[in-house]
């Protein structure tokens, strides 16, 4: 049973949020007005029907504290509450709807279908827009969810200075002039000029530690600054001359390298191996390539890279492990009461004909009792309805009012006055950002005109400041998609993450999803007689196909994309701030800043070899704090070093 205090808080927060959105700069609401006039239903109900009571009750100090806490919770959802000092000195509050919601978009039925497909392929998951377009429930998300997108996108559109706390070597306040949002291999960065300078930096969204505040100061951007923002990369530094690298590898791995680096040149050697030449913008990028390839390549040149690599490998998993006994990791956060209620309310407002309890329960993966509790609290309240332009309230319709507690009731939005309901079917800026990324990922797989028209509609509203880059070519993606669409079984040559040679597998693909810039396919593997997940860029080729005409057992894993983050052994690694980005894409990673400026990250590892490769990639500046894995990566680093 939901606690009474939670129900009262939920209704008060929703009422206050919608009320402040319905106010205006010319008519901001003072605390005194809100306290004296905002009514909600009394809970628990003590009479035959709900009784209206003041949302804020008690002494002046208690009311003020509750009001301030409520404003803070609203701001935590990315809604910036504006404070206005009026002519008489009174302080008023309002939420600018344009700071939260974009202009209404009218998607056709065909575009809505492709939006649903795209959000399943690559979306925010349960917290995202999927449940507004699909009957659900939403799958696990391939994008990093954050409430911070609303103020960041607002600052981009208005060319306003942004302030936020950011965790690097220390957690500090940053004042920046946002130039673009860049999504690189699935990670989201705010590319910005440091306020008052010409220095351009990238700030990873997951390291922002406070709700960004859009400040009043504006700024101008010239073409050179736009080019700098477009060229920015994590660890990017272009050198006057490119770094040419030559490695020796197997013919199988050379095929994968040629696919990933189309400009690479390969030449056969007498022993059957291949010599591959590649070019990189800087020494660090070249070093990353050799480290990621691991023992599958032998570095031939240049000598400077050999020297750098030797030093790097000697530092793998070496360093001082701090006392971890007092380090506590924050639990994974869940949807809060206000966010949950607003999601349900938003879905009802966008539904047109309304949604039943069963529809909402399925979409948001909630029990019918929870949906009924939440929605019934939103039905009867009308916070200052009509006086401040509050546009709509929720109507409940029952098929059997005598058994209301068991009825699959319908909830729909009823609009007052001359308001056209279609004008209010808007999406938040965060949801438009999610749709934009998901549709662009889908355009790599599907060739349908509705994809382009839907993207054009979004970008005409959201602008061109969002830039998306996927570095890994996936030439087998079309063949896998075709097998799914036509219900086919395919025979593939597949190279696992750490193997030199490919393996033959026969699979029946079922679904493609995107995580951290890579496409994965869930398939029934006839070779292993079990459900397996394959990374598409590791499929060398498809050598045969035939109809998949047999019934397979149901997939035991529903959210298969992030299963890697939910199984295996717990590992804690301590990293220097510059190495943190290597571990951030790991599903379900938890972080804690340490007193010495380093960061501790906890995650799960199902395969020891995966941790070995991860520590080699991290190099100096990362050390495993879990005794069971204290030597992770060292033997692999020794083998690579011995081959130099």
Is 546 domain-assigned? yes
- Of 424, 447, 469, the last residue of a domain is 424
Q: How far apart are CA 186 and CA 471, in angstroms?
A: 10
- Of 381, 407, 424, the last residue of a domain is 424
Q: What length does the chain have?
A: 644
Confidence of residue 552 (pLDDT cuts 50, 70, 90): very high
How many other C-beta atoms are found inside a 10 Å radius of the C-beta of residue 246? 17
- Of 558, 585, 604, the last residue of a domain is 558
Is 62 domain-assigned? yes
CB 319 within 8 A of CB 623: yes
Structure token pair of residue 335: 């949807």
Structure token pair of residue 470: 């996927």
Confidence of residue 2 (pLDDT cuts 50, 70, 90): very low
Same-domain status, 88 and 21: yes
pLDDT > 70: what percent of the chain? 91
Q: How far apart are CA 186 and CA 171, in angstroms?
A: 24
Same-domain status, 19 and 86: yes
Provide the CB-side half-sphere exposure for 378 (13 A, CA): 32
Indicate the range of 306-320, 323-337, 592-606 predicted with least confidence. 323-337
Residue 316's nearest CA partner among 642, 8, 622 is: 622
Q: Give the domain extent around 534.
A: 477-558
CA separation, residue 619 to residues 292, 312, 534 (Å): 11, 6, 27
- CATH number for the domain spanning 492: value is 2.30.30
CA separation, residue 169 to residues 320, 534, 580, 617 (Å): 17, 36, 10, 20
pLDDT digits (tens, 9 = 90+) for 587-622: 778 899 898 889 999 988 877 888 998 999 999 999
The dihedral through the CA atoms of 247, 249, 251, 256 has a sign that is negative
CB 539 within 8 A of CB 476: yes
Confidence of residue 424 (pLDDT cuts 50, 70, 90): very low
Structure token pair of residue 140: 């696990």
Q: How far apart are CA 276 and CA 251, in angstroms?
A: 10
Range picked from 465-469, 472-476, 633-637 for highest mean pLDDT: 633-637
Domain count, the chain: 2
Confidence of residue 423 (pLDDT cuts 50, 70, 90): very low
Rounded (10°) CA dihedral 606, 609, 615, 619: -170
Q: How far apart are CA 555 and CA 530, in angstroms?
A: 9
Is 169 domain-assigned? no
CB 474 within 8 A of CB 519: yes
pLDDT score of 246: 95
Q: How far apart are CA 374 and CA 382, in angstroms?
A: 15
CA separation, residue 200 to residues 19, 191, 284, 486, 565 (Å): 39, 7, 20, 48, 33
- Residue 429: left (phi > 0), alpha (psi -120 to 50), or beta? alpha
Is 491 domain-assigned? yes
Is 419 domain-assigned? yes
Is 526 domain-assigned? yes
**pTM (predicted TM-score):** 0.82
Q: How far apart are CA 44 and CA 239, in angstroms?
A: 68
Indicate the range of 197-201, 326-330, 596-600 predicted with least confidence. 326-330
- The DSSP line for 555-607 is PS-SSGGGGGGTSSEEEEEEE-GGGHHHHTTSTT-EEEE-TTS-EEEEEEES-
By CB atoms closer than 10 A (0-12, 13-18, 19+), residue 175 is middle
SS3 522: strand
CB 148 within 8 A of CB 167: no
Same-domain status, 89 and 13: yes
pLDDT > 90: what percent of the chain? 41
Cα-based angle 384, 385, 389 (whole degrees, multiple of 5): 100
Residue 383's nearest CA partner among 67, 73, 23, 66 is: 23
- For 418, residues 6+ apart whose C-beta sits below 8 A from its C-beta are none
Is 579 domain-assigned? no
pLDDT digits (tens, 9 = 90+) for 435-462: 999 999 898 888 889 999 999 998 888 7
Confidence of residue 392 (pLDDT cuts 50, 70, 90): low
CB 445 within 8 A of CB 512: yes
Helices (H), 212-266: 223-231, 251-260
Check whether 180 has a pLDDT greater than 80: yes
Check whether 49 has a pLDDT greater than 70: no
Beta-strand ranges (E) seen in 195-280 are 200-204, 213-218, 243-249, 265-268, 274-280
Residue 378's nearest CA partner among 406, 418, 338, 350 is: 338
Is 574 domain-assigned? no
């Amino acid at each position: 049973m939901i606690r009474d205090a939670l129900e009262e808080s939920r209704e008060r927060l929703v009422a206050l949020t919608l009320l402040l959105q319905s106010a205006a700069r010319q008519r901001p609401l003072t605390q005194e007005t809100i306290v004296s006039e905002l009514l909600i239903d009394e809970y628990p109900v003590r009479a035959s029907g709900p009784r209206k009571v003041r949302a804020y009750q008690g002494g002046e100090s208690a009311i003020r504290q509750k009001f301030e806490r409520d404003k803070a919770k609203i701001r935590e959802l990315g809604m910036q509450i504006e404070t206005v000092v009026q002519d008489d000195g009174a302080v008023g509050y309002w939420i600018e709807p344009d700071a939260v919601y974009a202009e209404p978009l009218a998607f056709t039925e065909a575009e809505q279908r492709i939006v649903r497909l795209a959000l399943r392929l690559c979306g925010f998951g349960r917290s995202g827009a999927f449940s507004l377009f699909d009957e659900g429930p939403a799958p696990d998300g391939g994008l990093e969810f954050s409430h911070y997108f609303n103020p960041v996108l607002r600052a981009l559109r208005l060319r306003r200075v942004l302030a936020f706390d950011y965790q690097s070597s220390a957690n500090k306040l940053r004042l920046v002039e946002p130039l673009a949002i860049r999504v690189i291999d699935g990670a989201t960065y705010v590319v910005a000029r440091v306020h008052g300078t010409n220095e351009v930096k990238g700030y990873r969204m997951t390291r922002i530690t406070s709700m960004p505040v859009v400040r009043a100061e504006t700024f101008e951007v010239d073409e050179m600054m736009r080019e700098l923002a477009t060229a920015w990369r994590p660890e990017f530094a272009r050198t006057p001359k490119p770094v040419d690298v030559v490695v020796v590898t197997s013919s199988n791995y050379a095929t994968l390298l040629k696919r990933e680096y189309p400009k690479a040149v390969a030449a056969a050697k007498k022993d059957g191996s291949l010599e591959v030449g590649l070019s990189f913008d800087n020494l660090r990028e070249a070093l990353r390539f050799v480290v990621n390839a691991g023992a599958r390549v032998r570095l031939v040149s240049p000598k400077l890279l050999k020297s750098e690599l030797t030093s790097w490998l000697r530092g793998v998993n070496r360093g001082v492990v701090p006392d971890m006994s007092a380090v506590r990791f924050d639990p994974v956060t869940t949807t809060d009461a206000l966010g949950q209620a607003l999601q349900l309310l938003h879905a009802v407002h966008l539904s047109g004909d309304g949604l039943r309890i069963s529809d909402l329960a399925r979409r948001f993966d909630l029990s019918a009792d929870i949906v009924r509790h939440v929605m019934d609290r939103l039905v009867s309240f009308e916070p200052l309805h009509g006086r401040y332009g509050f546009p709509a309230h929720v109507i409940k319709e029952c098929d059997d009012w005598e058994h209301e507690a068991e009825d699959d009731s319908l909830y729909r939005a009823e609009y007052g006055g001359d308001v056209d309901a279609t004008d209010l079917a808007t999406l938040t800026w965060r949801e438009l950002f999610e749709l934009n990324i998901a549709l662009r990922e889908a355009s790599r797989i599907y060739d349908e005109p509705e994809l382009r028209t839907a993207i054009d509609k979004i970008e005409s509203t959201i602008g061109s400041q969002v830039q998306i880059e996927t570095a890994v070519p996936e030439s087998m993606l079309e063949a896998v998609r075709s097998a799914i669409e036509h219900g086919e079984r395919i025979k593939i040559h597949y190279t696992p993450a750490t193997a030199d040679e490919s393996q033959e597998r026969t699979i029946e693909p079922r679904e493609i999803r995107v995580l951290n810039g890579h496409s994965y396919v869930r398939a029934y593997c006839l070779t292993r007689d079990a459900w397996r997940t394959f990374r598409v860029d590791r499929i060398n080729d498809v050598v045969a196909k035939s109809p998949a005409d047999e019934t397979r057992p149901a997939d035991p894993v529903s959210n298969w994309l992030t299963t890697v983050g939910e199984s295996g052994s717990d590992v804690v690694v301590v990293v220097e701030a510059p190495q943190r980005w290597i571990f951030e894409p790991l599903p379900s990673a938890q972080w804690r800043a340490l007193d010495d400026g380093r960061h501790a990250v906890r995650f799960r590892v199902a395969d020891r070899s995966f941790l070995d490769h991860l520590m080699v990639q991290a190099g100096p500046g990362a050390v495993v704090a879990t005794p069971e894995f204290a030597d992770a990566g060292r033997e692999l680093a020794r083998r690579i070093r011995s081959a130099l």
